[in-house]
Structure 1
């Protein structure tokens, strides 16, 4: 009891600025950003640009010389010398589902059991997470919150990162289902005998049989007449066959990708995206021919095999780009929740190993918007789209110059205070620094 009272005292004594900032209010007046360099998100760069938006939608984005509207009607913000970017989009993330990854009670990213297609990550999304403000300060403004665990983990949803609750946060609810493809069975050590290997292979084949049976049953259930008794598991899978949901297959090895995509196509799944895909460089023609998109994970990694080039993970985005395979970047891996603030720098690495800067930017803006089905409103800065954007004093993709000065979601000006900035300012004051 004594420790509980002490904890409560510490929490109530914490200054307001150290807490998660309240969501920004709706845009109340037209805003005009003038003089910055506009990165549209589709490869176009406009120097000395103007971006105007009202009621959360962009009304003009282009050269300042082409702006014909009366500037007196806007709140004009001078961003000369700065860079204007679309808000970055983070796919395949546990943001808002996990707070302190080492503390089990703060992790709500997985459900028990192997087959949970009816699980919805959206309703577990925590808009009060202390991590969200730190991610926004590096330009990440939207995320696909994704369940983990089991064979069929459940359904992900796309959210914007400044909201009172999950209902306000949702951008696209239940956009897809996530399948963790059973890994290939290989001999784990010289001491493992053939019987043990065969036993694991039989277990894997049984998982695949159950998966195929479930998907086959879901397709047949979808074709049943109205008035049938509802089955939540089968109902949640129906969207895979009419294209309203995407099947996100988490697989890395080439053989796994091959058999997973072939099974999905054979069973009539309309939209397939491979997540992880570290062996995608072996499957370029296959991915292109089958129109399979890739959410590329962990390019800040060592090569998988001794014979691979040292820079293969860094070059993989450019190999996909050259082959014409649709792809985007994520930040899955160790400390993926807190580390997701570094998404921009993942793209920066790709720009240093074959992609142009604008291609790298597209891999974290327009490309994920297309893969997640939200490109109508997000991903680029064009008239008619959502005013979801960031302004940086330097290159957003370069960790040395990234300095976000302003951020807007649907035209709402975000607070960029975080616990880290509060502590920085606090101790600067203590030591007389500016």
Structure 2
């Protein structure tokens, strides 16, 4: 009986989710005619700012980006955005967006696979383009994400997608660009016998995991050399790590873990390493720089990791990484409902040391470079995809962020979402109630 009730509850929750999904706007049609935005301040994404600028694009590609007086307006549909700001579309790395919808319904959670070592798992094939959350994210200027699996030691491969598509195939910007490794946590004895007995068991488990990883990486190196008689999907998926065609995303926060993980990857010939999380990145900045390791920093809006750290350490870490010469990007971690706050993470970094344009680059061009898609997106330059947003105010400021236009590959994206629909619905309801005469007034009139 308990099992029956549980499944009935899950079915009801799914039914409740269906009407909400019907409110997701349909993807925009392909760009049919040239468009030119004029009169706004252009934030290129590479540090340059152009006042009174124009941006033109045709067939989804940028054809002009510069001063308005240098633009040829003939043949373009001109959109006057005078007084506003044009930015590259923001990019959220390390995200489960589209992989997790209704927390209480297991069937809608596709962000992890069974088992510990799953380098062959492709997260993008589970990406749900009809997620209710996607339109709410676009409304704040986030137009791309890195669909990332979680769980286990090796979670699988991630892909970069744009956020306005009919299906995952349409959404792909770059497929299977990297493999995600969750580095096993180091354990510290406490001096408490009961606790340390548990830590002993955990340490044994960690050593077992390390041996399994060692074997997997060695086997993958041998497999890449062609020394095999049959196809092995796990090993085949890892071969790109050794020729640089795929990145290794090493998820680790503490300094010793980062050092241990990077040394492990280097020992096995991994060419391109990115540390994700990286709360202690400043403490090991010299090591990261010497090994040419990039960082995706999580947790700007967080508490310090240690009691002795400055209370604003997470806020100023992006500035300290920039000062140390470490290539880095910012992310909002795996809290998918919070991804809409990605621009404000960058805004906080700007308030604590980064130049405003450097902060913008940390969620646009820097991210594109780390993910390997900077030739297509990340900045507003001729030849790149016309993936950009227009905001009536400062995009990185929570008080003034007001996205009025969004274009993905030149397509004019519908900025409506479930929250806006509900807001309008109840706004109309209460306005109607205020305007309708009360029964007492009606009686007095009679």
TM-score, normalization by structure 1 = 0.94
**What is the deviation of 1:392?**
0.3
**What is the deviation of 1:97?**
0.2
**What is the deviation of 1:7?**
8.5
Does 2:71 correspond to 1:72?
A: no
Q: Which residue of 1 aligns with 2:109?
A: 107
CA distance 1:2–1:228, change in 2 (3 Å) = closer
Quote the Cα distance in structure 2 between the aligned partners of 1:224 and 1:106.
39
Quote the Cα distance in structure 1 between the aligned partners of 2:173 and 2:99.
17
Q: Which residue of 2 aligns with 1:25?
A: 29
Q: Which residue of 1 aligns with 2:143?
A: 141
Deviations 1:249-278 (A, max 9, x none): 000010000000011011100000000000
Correspondence list, 1:224-263, <5 A: 224=226, 228-263=229-264
Quote the Cα distance in structure 2 between the aligned partners of 1:141 and 1:268.
34
Q: Which shifted more, 191-200 or 394-403? A: 191-200
Does 2:374 correspond to 1:372?
A: no
Quote the Cα distance in structure 1 between the aligned partners of 2:224 and 2:231.
10
Deviations 1:395-429 (A, max 9, x none): 00011000000000000000011011111111111
Correspondence list, 1:142-291, <5 A: 142-187=144-189, 190-192=192-194, 194-224=196-226, 228-291=229-292
Answer whether contact 1:99 1:337 (CA < 8 A) is retained: no
Quote the Cα distance in structure 1 between the aligned partners of 2:177 and 2:220.
17
Answer whether contact 1:152 1:178 (CA < 8 A) is retained: yes
**What is the deviation of 1:430?**
1.3
**What is the deviation of 1:361?**
0.3
Deviations 1:288-345 (A, max 9, x none): 1100000000111101111010000001000100010000001115xx1111111011
Answer whether contact 2:13 2:105 (CA < 8 A) is retained: no
Q: Which residue of 2 aligns with 1:348?
A: 347
Quote the Cα distance in structure 2 between the aligned partners of 1:167 and 1:66.
38
Q: Which residue of 2 aligns with 1:339?
A: 338
CA RMSD of aligned residues (A): 2.2
Correspondence list, 1:8-47, <5 A: 19-47=23-51
Deviations 1:35-77 (A, max 9, x none): 000000000000000000000000000111222x2x2311100
**What is the deviation of 1:370?**
0.3
CA distance 1:210–1:50, change in 2 (3 Å) = same
Correspondence list, 1:373-388, <5 A: 373-388=372-387
**What is the deviation of 1:228?**
3.7
Q: Which residue among 76, 82, 85 is the counterpart of 2:84? A: 82
Answer whether contact 1:24 1:162 (CA < 8 A) is retained: yes
CA distance 1:332–1:363, change in 2 (3 Å) = same
CA distance 1:7–1:78, change in 2 (3 Å) = same
Q: Which shifted more, 193-202 or 106-115? A: 193-202
Quote the Cα distance in structure 2 between the aligned partners of 1:85 and 1:252.
31
CA distance 1:346–1:102, change in 2 (3 Å) = farther
Answer whether contact 2:34 2:57 (CA < 8 A) is retained: yes
Structure 1 unpaired stretches of 5+: none
What SS does the aligned partner of 2:377 have? coil
Quote the Cα distance in structure 2 between the aligned partners of 1:42 and 1:95.
26
CA distance 1:375–1:15, change in 2 (3 Å) = closer
Q: Which residue of 2 aligns with 1:48?
A: 52
Quote the Cα distance in structure 2 between the aligned partners of 1:4 and 1:96.
19
Does 2:324 correspond to 1:320?
A: no
Structure 2 unpaired stretches of 5+: 1-6, 435-446
Runs of 4+ that moved beyond 4 A:
1-12
Aligned residues: 427
CA distance 1:278–1:288, change in 2 (3 Å) = same
**What is the deviation of 1:224?**
1.1
Answer whether contact 1:150 1:180 (CA < 8 A) is retained: yes
CA distance 1:269–1:163, change in 2 (3 Å) = same
TM-score, normalization by structure 2 = 0.92
**What is the deviation of 1:6?**
8.9
Quote the Cα distance in structure 2 between the aligned partners of 1:117 and 1:8.
31
Quote the Cα distance in structure 1 between the aligned partners of 2:378 and 2:17.
38
Quote the Cα distance in structure 1 between the aligned partners of 2:408 and 2:397.
22
What SS does the aligned partner of 2:379 have? coil
Q: Which residue of 2 aligns with 1:391?
A: 390
Answer whether contact 2:20 2:418 (CA < 8 A) is retained: no
